[in-house]
Structure 1
Amino acid sequence: MNRRIIPLIMCGGAGTRLWPASREVHPKQFLSLFGARSTFQDTLLRVSDADLFERPVIITNNAYRFMVLEQLAEIGLEADVLLEPMRRDSGPAIAAGAAFAETRDKDAIVLALAADHVVSDPPAFLAACREGLAAAEAGHIVTFGVQPERAATEYGYINPGEAISGKVRAVAKFVEKPDPATAADYVEAGYLWNSGNFMFRAAVLTDEYRKVDAESVQAVTDAVTKAGTDLGFVKLDEAAFGSAKSISIDYAVMEKTARAAVVPVACGWSDVGSWHAVWELSGKDGDGNAARGAAVFEDSRNCNVSTDRALVALEGVDDLVVVATQDAVLVSRQQDANGLKRLVARLKTVAPQVTEDHIRVHRPWGSYQSVDNGDRHQVKRIIVKPGGRLSLQKHHHRAEHWIVVRGTAQVTVNELVKIVHENESIYIPIGAVHRLENPGKIQLELIEVQTGSYFGEDDIIRIEDDYQRS
């Protein structure tokens, strides 16, 4: 039996190309764009066959760690979760994953996968993994080259070279994203799309990386060696990891190594890099319109609508993207992914909040959403998961009224500990030490009315916290 593969799932990216659904603190890999599960969950399930795969390793960052755990629990899987202290692109992230895999098995075979890709034919993908495994064991760094369905300009390409074994070919050349005419030439010549997913022996990847940037490899190795643990997470050492050069694995290793190999695969792959890609992967009506949420189309063709709550009605338009969230609406041309990139860059300077977070803010204990704001008041809807509890805290500038609308709350106010049921309320004065918990088996939902002179999140003075937030 061949050695089993350690999946390395990379899910630390921000995913702003699907704004406004995807935001900095809740990016696209955790969204349910194509059904009940996120692409992160689907990626994990693709590599969950215990005959072929070991326990996965996930590399993410501090902001996403509890979303990772929650989504793992939803699909009944466990993993080792590494936390990057800061983003350093895919080169250091994959090198850190490889170094960690070697601590589990010095001869580890690693499959590095992006968490935000879609594969509509998982059996074909798994067949490609089995095809590439022998080449990876033999010391090649195997990438997966997707057989083109069109002359795409949004992907890099791979020119396959000489045969290595079975369907595995050496990589003759990597090429950057082409213009339309060059893309057509590449497809005609048998080039493959570069999927950005890789399989390799951990030691081989590290050795090849070391040849071109020994200092960064040492930094990443030190970050793993000096890593600490926090609530079950593996926290890479900040000082060591921060000294690694920020660079993609393509530039750092793949375009320089003589060990690159490619497995051709046709598995319905997409990196979901634009709203147009979402439209391509979605079900459509007879006029080519796709809808996620409530939408009505009249005399409109090839449009893509995604809406959280409001009804979106389109009349007399073609080839539009309309994405409506509770705090932002995007209207865009279907084909212009670069235009959205420019728009988000501009929004980061004029309205940064709408690129960073949704109105509904996720926390490890649940979520909260602002409902109304005024000079001297703020109203929030708070949801606490069963067994969840907020930090023991106080505020200098606001008092709070909590009204329970669903479930049961256990509330601490100074020395008082009280159970508050549905249709009951409790008052927390300014400066009172307090905590909210959900001791029940169903979600706790309450309305919080804040009154005072300042409502910023930096007026939360945490005294005790289950999640070790500062």
Structure 2
Amino acid sequence: MFIPAIMAGGAGTRLWPLSRKEFPKQFLNLTSDQSMLQQTLARLEGTGHSNPILLASEKHRFLVAEQLRLSNVATSQIVLEPFGRNTAPAIAIATFMAASESPDNILLVLSADHNVADVAGFQKAILKAQALAENDYLVTFGIVPDTPETGYGYIKCGDPIDDNGQRVSAFVEKPDLATAQRYLDDGKHLWNSGMFMFKANVFLEELKKYQPDVFDYCQSAFNNMQSDHDFHRIPEDIFEKCPDISVDYAVMEQTASAAVVSLDVGWSDIGSWDALSKVLQKDENGNNLRGDAIALNTKNTLIFSENRLISTIGVQDLVIVETKDAVLVSHKDHVQDVKEVVSTLRKNDRNEADSHRQVYRPWGHYDSIDNGKRYQVKRIFVEPGAKLSVQMHHHRSEHWVVVSGTANVYCNGEKKLLTENQSVYIPIGAIHSLENPGKIPLEVIEVQSGSYLGEDDIERFEDRYGRVD
């Protein structure tokens, strides 16, 4: 058996406006009716693996837990990073966790946001990598290239080890187009996928040899992790001292034990809108149409509509993405520049850079449907049995109207049961909470009014989801 270590902490801003820092691509249903994380878990079914370790951002902890629940995956190993420190520290923490059970445990390190078309072929490659890992190799997976890609690093293959894989001759940085074409033609180079397999003790020995600082800080962080429920929090004061370094630079490019298993399974890291377009189903004109779309005299165009009708006439080679609060229109040759849009939004302190209009919480979600200088209107959806924190606001009052379902409203020590078309007023400074005691989702319209309406005007006194310091 092996332990999957799934890295789910990325921001995915190259797929803005659909993917954003607060709700990145690993949680989105991009290529099927499952999220990228759910698909990553599903393609491991039947491989006989142990409970996975999930590495995620603190801010995404409830998203990860909900994705695991939807996938019927039981794990008590959700490791929360206070901030990103690249792949080497994240993988090191997971490896210390696996080694604490047995130093001979084998880890399969995967990203949560990759697409694999041939699952059976992928699982066969895992068996090959596992055989190499059992013989103390640090295994990476190399993708058989089909285009001269300049956006990936490459792995140069060396001598064969056995029928399972080859030694790594060299890791190569992202090349220019001419060099990438040469790599494609020589048949000796593979794309670097960022997936790995190794014994815990072998990896840690190599990490200690080549990056002792990373080893020491990550060992200390692991030893001082705080746990509640299924979450294990990496201490911020220790982790911030750890070098920010990739696992390739830290170990794989240094070790003499690197091996590579080739993958030709329809792999993609979905690193841009153009990359997503290549894996989605196309119509007879080469268009990818998701959502409500009409494409007349349109060719080779991706249309991704979340909420409203998009119509195109006489265009080609475009990417058009619509969400509740933003629209992207780009030529496919320029989709890599999406990051510049996000950078501009951040410089202008725009919420659209990092968060959606619809925001997920452990109890459900809310949608900010309107706002002005001194008011904001939200649609609040509370899952059955869920409850918002007991809280108070210093600068705003709230008026709640129940649209559907049943609500328990707590306000200044009093409890009220509200049903459809009933309402309640929450004054400024009142200690209050909202609960769904029913069997169906609760929908509430909330009207806020006051001098400051930011989400940080919440003082929590009690919370079943651990959000009170």
Structure 2 match to 1:398: 396
Structure 2 match to 1:412: 410
In structure 1, distance between residues paired with 2:102 and 2:333: 45
Q: Is the CA contact 2:159–2:167 (under 8 Å) kept in the aligned structure 1?
A: yes
Q: Is the CA contact 1:142–1:263 (under 8 Å) kept in the aligned structure 2?
A: yes
In structure 2, distance between residues paired with 1:387 and 1:373: 29
By how many angstroms is 1:351 displaced? Answer: 4.2
In structure 1, distance between residues paired with 2:48 and 2:167: 24
In structure 2, distance between residues paired with 1:337 and 1:255: 31
The one of 60, 71, 75 aligned to 2:71: 75
- For 1:193-223, what per-residue CA distance to the aligned partner results, in whole angstroms no more than 9, with x for missing partners? 1111000111111111122210111100111
The one of 197, 209, 214 aligned to 2:207: 209
- Trace 1:275-354 onto structure 2 (pairs within 5 A): 275-354=273-352
In structure 2, distance between residues paired with 1:154 and 1:61: 25
Structure 1 counterpart of 2:136, which letter? G
Q: Is the CA contact 2:398–2:449 (under 8 Å) kept in the aligned structure 1?
A: yes
Q: Is the CA contact 1:216–1:243 (under 8 Å) kept in the aligned structure 2?
A: no
The one of 57, 61, 67 aligned to 2:53: 57
Q: Is the CA contact 2:132–2:164 (under 8 Å) kept in the aligned structure 1?
A: no
By how many angstroms is 1:231 displaced? Answer: 3.0
Mapped pair 1:10 → 2:7: yes
- For 1:444-465, what per-residue CA distance to the aligned partner results, in whole angstroms no more than 9, with x for missing partners? 1110111222211122111111
Secondary structure of 1:435 counterpart: strand
By how many angstroms is 1:393 displaced? Answer: 0.9
The structure-2 alpha-carbon separation of the partners of 1:352 and 1:220, relative to structure 1 and needing over 3 Å to count, comes to farther
By how many angstroms is 1:354 displaced? Answer: 0.9
In structure 1, distance between residues paired with 2:255 and 2:39: 31
Identity percentage of aligned residues:
47
Structure 1 match to 2:155: 158
- For 1:135-156, what per-residue CA distance to the aligned partner results, in whole angstroms no more than 9, with x for missing partners? 1111111011111122222211
By how many angstroms is 1:274 displaced? Answer: 0.3
Structure 2 match to 1:443: 441
Mapped pair 1:41 → 2:38: yes
Q: Is the CA contact 2:289–2:303 (under 8 Å) kept in the aligned structure 1?
A: yes
Q: Is the CA contact 2:139–2:197 (under 8 Å) kept in the aligned structure 1?
A: yes
In structure 2, distance between residues paired with 1:146 and 1:457: 44
In structure 2, distance between residues paired with 1:460 and 1:178: 49
Structure 2 match to 1:236: 234
Q: Is the CA contact 1:15–1:24 (under 8 Å) kept in the aligned structure 2?
A: yes
Q: Is the CA contact 1:107–1:202 (under 8 Å) kept in the aligned structure 2?
A: yes
Structure 2 match to 1:123: 120
In structure 2, distance between residues paired with 1:344 and 1:97: 31
- TM-score, length-scaled by structure 1: 0.97
Structure 2 counterpart of 1:110, which letter? L
In structure 2, distance between residues paired with 1:77 and 1:117: 19
The one of 22, 25, 31 aligned to 1:25: 22
After superposing on structure 2, the runs of 4+ consecutive aligned residues of structure 1 that deviate more than 4 Å are: none
- For 1:60-99, what per-residue CA distance to the aligned partner results, in whole angstroms no more than 9, with x for missing partners? 1210100001111111112210111221011100111111
Q: Is the CA contact 2:13–2:21 (under 8 Å) kept in the aligned structure 1?
A: yes
- For 1:147-202, what per-residue CA distance to the aligned partner results, in whole angstroms no more than 9, with x for missing partners? 11222222111111111121310011111122222111101111111111000111
By how many angstroms is 1:413 displaced? Answer: 0.9
Q: Is the CA contact 1:231–1:467 (under 8 Å) kept in the aligned structure 2?
A: no
Secondary structure of 1:142 counterpart: strand
In structure 2, distance between residues paired with 1:138 and 1:324: 50
- Trace 1:107-122 onto structure 2 (pairs within 5 A): 107-122=104-119
In structure 2, distance between residues paired with 1:208 and 1:352: 44
- Trace 1:127-276 onto structure 2 (pairs within 5 A): 127-190=124-187, 191-276=189-274
By how many angstroms is 1:310 displaced? Answer: 1.7
Secondary structure of 1:297 counterpart: strand
- Bigger Cα displacement from structure 2, 451-460 vs 243-252: 451-460
By how many angstroms is 1:118 displaced? Answer: 0.5
Secondary structure of 1:458 counterpart: coil
Q: Is the CA contact 1:222–1:237 (under 8 Å) kept in the aligned structure 2?
A: no
Mapped pair 1:423 → 2:421: yes
In structure 1, distance between residues paired with 2:375 and 2:39: 42
By how many angstroms is 1:359 displaced? Answer: 0.4
- Bigger Cα displacement from structure 2, 22-31 vs 210-219: 210-219
In structure 2, distance between residues paired with 1:253 and 1:342: 32
Structure 2 counterpart of 1:388, which letter? A
Mapped pair 1:100 → 2:97: yes
Structure 2 counterpart of 1:213, which letter? Q
In structure 2, distance between residues paired with 1:407 and 1:165: 62
Secondary structure of 1:454 counterpart: coil
Structure 2 match to 1:389: 387
Q: Is the CA contact 1:395–1:459 (under 8 Å) kept in the aligned structure 2?
A: yes
Secondary structure of 1:216 counterpart: helix
- Bigger Cα displacement from structure 2, 298-307 vs 450-459: 450-459
In structure 1, distance between residues paired with 2:136 and 2:73: 30
In structure 2, distance between residues paired with 1:20 and 1:313: 19
Q: Is the CA contact 1:141–1:260 (under 8 Å) kept in the aligned structure 2?
A: yes
Q: Is the CA contact 2:103–2:199 (under 8 Å) kept in the aligned structure 1?
A: no
Matched residue pairs, number? 466
Structure 2 counterpart of 1:55, which letter? N
By how many angstroms is 1:263 displaced? Answer: 0.5
Secondary structure of 2:74 counterpart: coil
